[in-house]
Structure 1
């Protein structure tokens, strides 16, 4: 015990009493050397943690991300210039680099604790990791990308015509690279499990709607359709903004009727909202689609443009209450916002009425891959584009409204 007390006293004296045998110059010189040594070791540590081998040994990249990177032009190309991990993920300026290293400690901790220690866990958390990096690139205007790819150094004349148009527009707006280019070095995360929070807003509004039998409403979100009021026998699924007529309300469930069109070909599972127009409103189970006890054919017509027979059918089923809206306008507003926000970052989005209903699916399929829309939002935006296409441009009412007097291009 006395030894510990003497040691503490001796240490205290060392730091509080003037040096008796060591001169001030020696102390200053020693402090300078110690500071220089610390600074050297600090920078050496920074450099070592910036080596690609460190990334491959510390992160789960070797098993998950490295194989994806090796398939891209950033790994191997005709010029022999390769982007390393820190080239894209570590800022070059000192202060930004230190801040990024501190942020990256979360990822190191996640690896050590096993949060992303397996392929399955990594895939589960990938959307979070990707969105974090996208936000960082967006905030600094893709600075790491532009250390190599600079608008002022681009020769637009050597690009394809379609690329020229997009890149010139991006240069004029000084757009961030990540606005258009995602998934060029690593695979995009699976967005199937994600959900647009705007659907929660629609469902919140739908819960306040007081429905009446015999009145037509619109489904507020994708939902399942059942044959029984116990919601155990699935008939199919409804898409968002599908018109439904309320037949009966029983507590937490309600019986609805669909009057939609289908092609009289194959199983006829896909039900469309308009004759001759491929606007998906519901999809039936295969065993249900040809059951006359469940599907009533009301009318049959031949589409002169395709020669196919279309049937207008009535289907009754049960859904949960609180999932319909009086009007589709709130739905269209959300779809319009999603379309404008997601499809204008790369180029000016096409006007909705610039294409007809059956052209939009193919066009949209070529664009949606460059966005981060989830599956439900993609279907909603496509339906919005179709319902506001040139086929509906002359309508005096909003498309989808029961009072709409649409002059369709179809007979």
Structure 2
């Protein structure tokens, strides 16, 4: 009787567990709380995964509940922290949900990357795809992905829900640079490079903001007083409008500083050293110099550590969909438009994107000794400009 009773109890326990498991795998359960119903369901309803010509719809568990039993149980255990977050109100409002959305998305992206997007490929399998029916541009990317057996989420983030705001993300690689900059010995008269963008001020007290200076910009340190440093900028600008945007090189749109419009034409601040017409555009460019104050602790003595981070980010983030172009394949002024079309398909945060673009421009064909060579901007001759 004891064995029989134990067996029956085991069967009933298993049946109860399985019933509860199946109940929590239904879409009705997923959207029963207002957090999911109000935030994620409306987004899904606007996509092809909800409504399409074939009438095949993906439901919440199809994508977010592993089909394998062991993985499913593990995911249920992980989901307990999300349930707790809902119960205590961590993501209870639209504002709170948006605040935590990046972290939630990154967890799912990591899970999909780790299992090769197994849930996606329950419906979308490379071996069943007819590549010839795809658009030519898609064929190249998909054939390459199939050859590498690539995880779907590498390229297709945001296909069912809105992408989170990436400005809250931060590249941890910059933490090392910031730490190095805080310990950098800085001497007046020497030149250094910005590891992060900084505001520029007219006064030592850092109260009168006059503009900003970009990452990887070269500056000369004039003096240091307390928490402030006075620096000198020697750059180029186009002589049109207020001339607010300052560039690192003549004729090349590599943004290095941006002044407030009232200050950009202030002769007491800006010293025009020379003027030169750009034969490519007919615009007059001015070589300009100015000094300003900024908060100390963001300078290093070599630009190479910055380029190392930018190069790694470019090689890893911009090659998941296709092979990225060589840096010197395009000229400096072509890169911004091309990169703008690429970066939207990556998870690069805004600050890293700015560094990568500046890296690409600074290693473009304008700084190469051959048309598509791998030249370095330091000491290289500009082949496309006088």
For residues 211 and 36 of structure 1, the distance between their equivalents in structure 2, rounded to whole angstroms, comes to 74
1:75 to 47, 50, 63: 50
For residues 174 and 102 of structure 2, the distance between their equivalents in structure 1, rounded to whole angstroms, comes to 19
Listed as ranges, the matches of 1:78-97 within 5 Å are 78-97=53-72
2:313 match: 338
TM-score (norm 2): 0.96
2:347 to 372, 395, 399: 372
For residues 325 and 30 of structure 1, the distance between their equivalents in structure 2, rounded to whole angstroms, comes to 74
1:189 match: 164
Q: Is 1:156 aligned with 2:131?
A: yes
For residues 222 and 72 of structure 1, the distance between their equivalents in structure 2, rounded to whole angstroms, comes to 38
2:98 to 106, 111, 123: 123
SS in 2 for 1:300: strand
1:21 match: none
User: 1:47-86 deviations in whole A, cap 9, x for unaligned?
Assistant: 1111111111136111111111111111111111111000
Q: Is 1:52 aligned with 2:27?
A: yes
SS in 1 for 2:207: coil
For residues 325 and 188 of structure 2, the distance between their equivalents in structure 1, rounded to whole angstroms, comes to 40
1:168 to 143, 150, 154: 143
SS in 1 for 2:266: coil
SS in 2 for 1:394: coil
Q: Is 1:258 aligned with 2:233?
A: yes
SS in 1 for 2:292: strand
Q: CA deviation at 1:36?
A: 2.3
2:268 to 283, 290, 293: 293
User: 1:150-186 deviations in whole A, cap 9, x for unaligned?
Assistant: 0000000001111111111111111111111101111
Listed as ranges, the matches of 1:7-406 within 5 Å are 24=1, 27-58=2-33, 60-394=35-369, 398-399=376-377, 401=378, 404-406=379-381
For residues 232 and 408 of structure 1, the distance between their equivalents in structure 2, rounded to whole angstroms, comes to 42
Q: CA deviation at 1:302?
A: 1.6
Q: CA deviation at 1:242?
A: 0.3
Larger of the two Rg values belongs to structure: 1
SS in 2 for 1:256: strand
SS in 1 for 2:347: coil
Moved more, 385-394 or 53-62: 53-62
Say if 1:154 and 1:351 are closer, same or farther in 2 by CA, change over 3 A. Answer: same
SS in 2 for 1:60: helix
SS in 1 for 2:246: strand
Alignment size in residue pairs: 383
Q: CA deviation at 1:41?
A: 2.1
For residues 405 and 381 of structure 1, the distance between their equivalents in structure 2, rounded to whole angstroms, comes to 20
For residues 170 and 212 of structure 2, the distance between their equivalents in structure 1, rounded to whole angstroms, comes to 17
Q: CA deviation at 1:322?
A: 2.4
Moved more, 111-120 or 35-44: 35-44
For residues 37 and 247 of structure 2, the distance between their equivalents in structure 1, rounded to whole angstroms, comes to 47
TM-score (norm 1): 0.90
For residues 59 and 38 of structure 1, the distance between their equivalents in structure 2, rounded to whole angstroms, comes to 31
Say if 1:315 and 1:397 are closer, same or farther in 2 by CA, change over 3 A. Answer: farther
Q: CA deviation at 1:141?
A: 0.8
For residues 168 and 263 of structure 2, the distance between their equivalents in structure 1, rounded to whole angstroms, comes to 27
User: 1:256-286 deviations in whole A, cap 9, x for unaligned?
Assistant: 1111111122222111101111101111122
User: 1:91-135 deviations in whole A, cap 9, x for unaligned?
Assistant: 111111111111111111100100000011001101110111111
What runs of 5+ residues in structure 2 fail to find an aligned partner?
none
Root mean square deviation, CA, Å: 1.6
What runs of 5+ residues in structure 1 fail to find an aligned partner?
1-23
